[in-house]
Structure 1
């Protein structure tokens, strides 16, 4: 996007619209190993890659559950080990704070 050249160019109509729906990644990720963490870019959820079959990628939640079929264009790399550890630690600290507060 270029800078506006006149006062008329500053209208909101000149700005690119913000999409109201998720946009698939420009270069979808292709997982290779079952058990690999990936991100479903359509929902933003981290999932475990199970298999690719019939043009669909099959994912399951990190804690198990039913597999769901996803269009491969929505797959992006999963979080790194550091990100996973930080999420678990942060969730645990929030849970600990709630438990401590509820016990008072």
Structure 2
């Protein structure tokens, strides 16, 4: 993964699992709602190897590298992109202080 974003993927996956469980959904139910396989949800949540080396098995979420790159360039935690655009959240999620 570009710039070693593995730990960020893991944290994002943990948050997804947390909120899925808070909603009382199984991985299969979430997969059905987002129209993907339960295996993919397990990958996203970090229960299986997130990125495989074969070209045909590359995990699609790897495309988030671009989003992480933007967050790094702006010196912001990526979570800011998922919060309301407020001065409070800007101050809370900036990484330059």
What is the TM-score with the length of structure 1 in the denominator?
0.27
Greater helix share, structure number: 2
What is the TM-score with the length of structure 2 in the denominator?
0.28
Greater strand share, structure number: 1
Q: Which has the larger Rg? A: 1
Q: Which fold has the larger relative contact order, with Cα–Cα distance below 8 Å and residues 6 or more apart in sequence?
A: 1
